[in-house]
Structures are given as C-alpha cells and as structure tokens.
Structure 1
Amino acid sequence: MTYSGAVKVGGPADVHELQDLMISKVAVGPMDNNAYLLRCRATDQQLLIDAANEPETLRHLIGEDGIGAVVTTHRHGDHWQALQEVVEATGARTYAGREDVEGIPVATDVAVADGDTIEFGRITLTARHLVGHTPGSIALVYDDPHGHPHGHPHVFTGDCLFPGGVGNTWKDPEAFASLIDDVETKIFGTLPDETWVYPGHGGDTTLGAERPHLQEWRERGW
C-alpha cells in the first residue's frame, strides 16, 4: 500500500515505511488531531508525537513494545488530552518546547530549544522553534540519510504549517508575521521541496507544493 497521509477518526492508521523509520499516522477526535508513532526499524524503539486524545487508540497503536518518549508540539489542549494516560501506561519521557512547558499540565521531562535533538534508537529528530501559533511551538525534522529517491527530509509541523497556509494566529498581525517568518526561514529556508510535511490536523503535503504560495499567504495575512 502506498502511503497517502489520509486518515479518519475511528479509522486505521496509515503507515509510511522509510528505510530506517516507520511512521504511523492516526486521527483522533473530537478535533480531528493527528498523532504520529515513529519506530526505529533497527532497534524497534518508538516515539510518539502528540498524545492528542483517545488514549485507548494510542495505546493500541503503540502496542506491546511501548514508547520511550512523547513529544508535544505545542501547548494547546487538543494536543495533550491523552498525555497523562499514555505516560502513566508507558513510563515515557516527555518533551515539549521550552516556552510552552508552563501551558501543558503534564510535567515535561525535557524542555526543548531550537536546534535541540531528540534521539531514539538510531533515529535523530531536530527541533525547530516556531513562534506565533504559540510561544513555544516546535516542529521536528527527520533528515533521512539514504539519498534519492526516498531519502528526503520529513517534518512534523504541529499546527504551524498546513496544506494552504501557516497555523492560526487569531488575526494578530505580530503573531502572524512571527510565524510566517519562522516557517519561511527555519523550514522552507533550510529544507528542499521534496520534504514531506506531517501536520497536526488533516492531510499531508510537501514543501514544494506550498512554497509557491508563501508570498500570497503574507499578502492575505493569515
């Protein structure tokens, strides 16, 4: 099966199989959030991005092997509703962006800054701090080392970048300017068009599909 990134609440996970990494994407309600389970193929160690909701769904996805870590992309409540239960069930370490830690009511073991790395098994994720949707939102970049045709980067953007635009900044021009500047500089400015984008809600995209529209987003102001 070819990975599409199209998932529905109550439906099965979609699995993106890379050479060193398996990425399982599942949608949970009621806000149609995406959660991503990453598995190192060499060691079977696992990491979860956003324990958003439906702890039973997430525990089923994680399976018997457990997880070593949960990364919360940002402080908004729809991204951590299942965090306490998942951590209690698995003993996983918790990671979140430094400036969002105070807004997440589950203790953060590791506060993450821009450029910090998170490692599990033989996999390394690099955090990019993106300010505007929240003060401490982070995106996570996996730079696949295996070259073309399959070795492009993969970026988990939380609610900072979606197909068709950046995340909601609630008609705050300063927050919007900050977010689009950070997304343009730290994501589009450092990663190639082939980069696969996994957002916090809805379908996936690539940087190449979105790059031509950056100026249009700036002009519309959202």
Structure 2
Amino acid sequence: MSEAKGKDRTKDLLFLLKGLNCAACAAAIEGSASRIGWVKKAAVDPVTSMLTITVDADLSEKEVASAIQSLADRIEPGVKVYRASITDSPFLNPVRQRALAAFSSRILPGLVLWASAAVLPTGQELRIALFIAAYLASGWNVLGRALKNVLSGRFFDEYFLMSIATIGAISIGEFPEAVAVMLFFRTGLILEESAV
C-alpha cells in the first residue's frame, strides 16, 4: 500500500516487525519513528507486529526500512523489518504463525496418534501404547511444568490439576479420555497464548 496523498505528497507504507514480542518496545518504536522529520505518522500494532507509517513520497521504501531497522536494533535487538502489504498472506501475522507452529508441534502429533489408536483395528497392547504415546506427545510439557511447580512448592495450579485428572483417567483404563482431555487443554493454552 503506497499511495501519494494530497498537496504535500506522502505515502503510506506497511512493515512487519518480525520478532517484536513486547508492547512497550512496540510503543517505543512507534514513538521514535514518529519523531523522525520525514515521518508524518507512525503506528505499531503490537498484536500483529505491523508498523503503518506515512512518509514523504520522495523517500524510497528501502530508505524507510533501513531507518526503521536502525530504530528497532536500538530499541529491541533481534527484530527484523520486512516490507509488507495489506494483501499479504494472513500467515505473515506473527500471532497466527506462533499459533500454527504450536498446533503443528504440540497438538498434531498427539491428535494423529490418538486417532490412530481409536480407529485402527489393532491389538489391545498396541492401542494402549499408541494412547500413551499420544498422551505424552500432547502433554509432555504440561506434565513437566506440573512437576516443576510441585518441586517449587506450588500445588493446585492448572497444570498440576490437569496432570492429576489425566493420570487418574489412565489409571482406571480410560486412555482415550485422558488423551482427549490433554489435547483440549493444550488447545486452550495455545488459544490463550495467541489471544494475548
């Protein structure tokens, strides 16, 4: 999106600030960008990590990107500035990227193993092994965090309670339910992370 505007000839540019995970840093980049002489307006959306900036029309996108990269390097090292447009893929959105990565690495393996155990005509031992593998694939870090919290003296948080509930289901032979509950819990955690 780059259009010349009015008599003073300005254009709007859109940049992705990849790796920006701090609302205060987003505000600092926005404030610093707004103080540059040739910037008419700057706004950073901390949720999408997108910078919308209105600049003098005679500036090249490369000059603007370079100046913004310098600001980002000073304020939040590690942030990379990329040119973006309104028509870019929705997967460019960092929040969606994190949610998709979390789903494919945390939920999908457990879901595939759970479905395999539920529908494949196999022996009881193999089904139990698949359910346990699905449980561990989807809940290993929930169990780890519960253990870490217990060792720190923090009982009765959601991780501990979910671990107790699912281990209880496994102990009475309800493997599919234990895996399903863990998958739902993990999905809820991913959605919660994506919402903030």
TM-score > 0.5 by shorter chain: no
| Structure whose residues are more often helix by fraction | 2
TM-score, length-normalised on structure 1?
Answer: 0.26
Higher-Rg member (1/2): 2
| Structure whose residues are more often strand by fraction | 1
TM-score, length-normalised on structure 2?
Answer: 0.29
